Amino acid sequence: MSLDFDLWRTRFAAHLGDERRLSPHTVAAYLRDLDYLAQFLNQAGLGDWSQIDAQHIRALAGARHRAGAAPRSIQRFLSTLRTFFGYLLREGVLINNPAQDVSAPKLRRSLPHVMDVDQVGRLLDVDSSEPLVIRDRALLELMYSSGLRLSELTGLDLQDIDLRDATVTVTGKGNKTRVLPVGRQAVSAIQRWLTVRAGLAKLDEKALFVNHRGRRLGNGGVQKRLRELGIRQGVDGPLHPHALRHSFATHMLESSGDLRAVQELLGHANISTTQIYTHLDFQHLAEVYDKAHPRAHKSRKS
């Protein structure tokens, strides 16, 4: 069968949109990746689908890498090719998937930004009678107290918080719910917020945290207020709401050493996701060792 790229590109787009019900934005991303494939096939002079093999796909991935594409982009690109060739395989155009066993360069796993205990204390040490500042203190205390994701925090309704039992019920990834303990200072901050929330929230609003218009506070609103509060409180470094979740996990692990418990609290499906915090803990210990151990320093004698 001759290579009729435009025809199969169009049919693949219809497959993604009509059969797999992917969004137009996602379909467009797939098609952008296929444009690189079309250019490569044209330059290589390949005129039949059966001529494409794994070596061609590796060469194409290498070309993307040399062009400056990040490892994550190359991973996504190869995923697109596997999906596209899998579709051609289903349609009888190919007898194997040439991208199936081609691996992408490994991602460098960057360690998340973590605040130390003093930085967290400085950030949360705000005292104001302004309703929105009272709200900010409450939501940040809760995020640090219970290790919530940003989406879990902004998705909370009034019914999800039980101040008598000091627990919060959150809905995480995969629509899974978990019940988490809430610390004493977070309980106190939320109690104070609830006394002023009624003056802001619309009567039919169920969200625990609302904005100045009385509706559910969004993720962007939390990010903006946290940046402003970090500057106001003199906390160094870029502040993102997940820094509080990462700090919660790291501080819990440093104190307890119980990786499984931290995994449950964070709602990680796989413990390998939680293990990044063991690297952070070791990094902290290594820094302490380098500073304190008399045999850790290189001799200054010539």
Say how far apart CA 53 and CA 65 lie, in whole Å: 19
Residue 149 among the catalytic residues: yes
**Active-site choice (11, 122, 178, 242):** 242
Residue 56 among the catalytic residues: no
**Active-site choice (173, 184, 212, 232):** 173
Q: Are strands 177-181 and 161-162 parallel, antiparallel or unpaired?
A: unpaired
Instruction: Give me the residue label for tokens 């001529």.
Output: 51
Token pair for residue 168?
């919060």
Residue 11 among the catalytic residues: no
**Active-site choice (56, 149, 197, 246):** 149
Handedness of CA 108, 109, 110, 116 (dihedral sign): negative
Say how far apart CA 163 and CA 142 lie, in whole Å: 12
**Active-site choice (82, 192, 227, 268):** 268
| DSSP secondary structure letter of residue 18 | I
- List, in order, residues 6 or more apart from 145 with CB less than 8 Å away: 181, 182, 183, 185, 186, 248
Strands in the chain per DSSP E: 161-162, 167-171, 177-181
The residue count of the chain comes to 302
**Active-site choice (56, 245, 246, 251):** 245
Residue 245 among the catalytic residues: yes
**Active-site choice (36, 87, 144, 277):** 277
Q: What residues are annotated to the active site?
A: 149, 173, 242, 245, 268, 277
